[in-house]
Amino acid sequence: MSILVTGSTGTIGSLVVRGLAAQGASVHALTRNPDQASFPDGVIAVKGDMTDIPSVRAALQNVDTLFLLNAVVADEVTQAIGTLSLAREAGIRRIVYLSVLNSDAYTDVPHFTGKYAVERMIEQFDLPVTVLRPSYFMQNDAMLRDGLLQQGRYGMPIGNVGVAMVDVRDIAEVAVAALLRRARATAPLPREVIEITGPEVLTGDALATIWSGVLGRPVTPAGNDLDAWEAVMAGLMPSWSAYDLRLMLARFHVDGMLGKSNALEILTGLLGHPPRRYRDLAVELATAWQVQ
């Protein structure tokens, strides 16, 4: 049993690597810079890049299980489809793919519909894959530090319908369990889709209220001005990325980001504990910010 983890140095990938290593799995971590990566003892750092086909082809020769995660980049679909195709060529029949909640519905949001294209390939070829569909990451709000502390403002315009935000640690726990379940199975398991959501439906107003309580002073919500938000973000990231996220937020304003009615019950069973709550993360972040 050897598991290749792509995106191994990122927020979720690094947690998956640590979780698998803690369970005694043989882990190969794909990274562009093995010399700079820090992994747990026993993890094999494998040099590779999903835009470099020979390197991925070589990395897949030494494993029987794949965790496919790739960043939101302009060529995300090329990277994911190429890697999945190489896995098919290598005969890998144990795969977990990290998609996104509402991938099938948000057809106007590039990184959502891109991930759904990968899901369509998985379905068309009936590949033995666990597709994980997580909601918006709670930890994304760490970027709001300055606005919260200096301006008393929750700066993400997520709207008033509600988003069932999820803690990335819960995503990683489910991913590790799914990988080990497939890796240890005597035969390839059927294709499945798992929605990963948080225990609360959160709006901008609700989040501002949570932060007011955590910080002990008034915090106001950002409102829903996506023109202003995109203009700010375009100065911090490529314009295509800022627009992609703006389109996502626009869908939040109309549809929210909510799982199926039984998603929370299923997730609690998979985790063996209730999903983590936003307020607990807010306390963690506020504590860390005080130390810095």
**Other residues' Cβ atoms within 10 Å of the Cβ of residue 107:** 12
Q: Which two tokens stand for residue 16?
A: 């998956």
Write the Ramachandran bin of 145: left for phi over 0, alpha for psi from -120 to 50, otherwise beta.
alpha
pLDDT at residue 38, rounded to an integer: 92
What φ, ψ does residue 97 adopt, rounded to 5°?
Answer: -115, 130
Q: What is the pLDDT of residues 36-92, one digit of tens each?
A: 989 999 999 999 999 999 999 999 998 999 999 998 999 999 999 999 999 999 999
Range 2-134+166-196 classified under CATH 3.90.1150.10:
no
Measured CA to CA in angstroms, residue 85 lies from 98, 158, 178, 195 at distances of: 16, 36, 21, 24
Cβ(51)–Cβ(74) below 8 Å? no
24-37 residues labelled b (16+ CB within 10 A) or e (exposed):
ebbbbbbbeeeeeb
Q: Under 8 Å CB-to-CB from 213, ≥6 apart: which residues?
A: 279
Report whether pLDDT(7) > 90: yes
d(CA 238, CA 218): 32
Report whether pLDDT(292) > 70: no
Measured CA to CA in angstroms, residue 50 lies from 61, 71, 93, 101, 108 at distances of: 15, 10, 19, 23, 25
| Average pLDDT for 83-104 | 97
255-285 residues labelled b (16+ CB within 10 A) or e (exposed):
ebbbbeeebbebbeebbeeebbbbbebbebb
The pTM of the full predicted model, rounded to 2 decimals, is 0.95
- Which range among 72-76, 79-83, 113-117, 211-215 shows the weakest confidence by mean pLDDT? 72-76
In terms of Cα–Cα distance, which of 143, 109, 195 is closest to 11? 143
Report whether pLDDT(29) > 90: yes
What φ, ψ does residue 273 adopt, rounded to 5°?
Answer: -160, 160
Q: Under 8 Å CB-to-CB from 205, ≥6 apart: which residues?
A: 160, 221
Rg (CA), the chain: 19
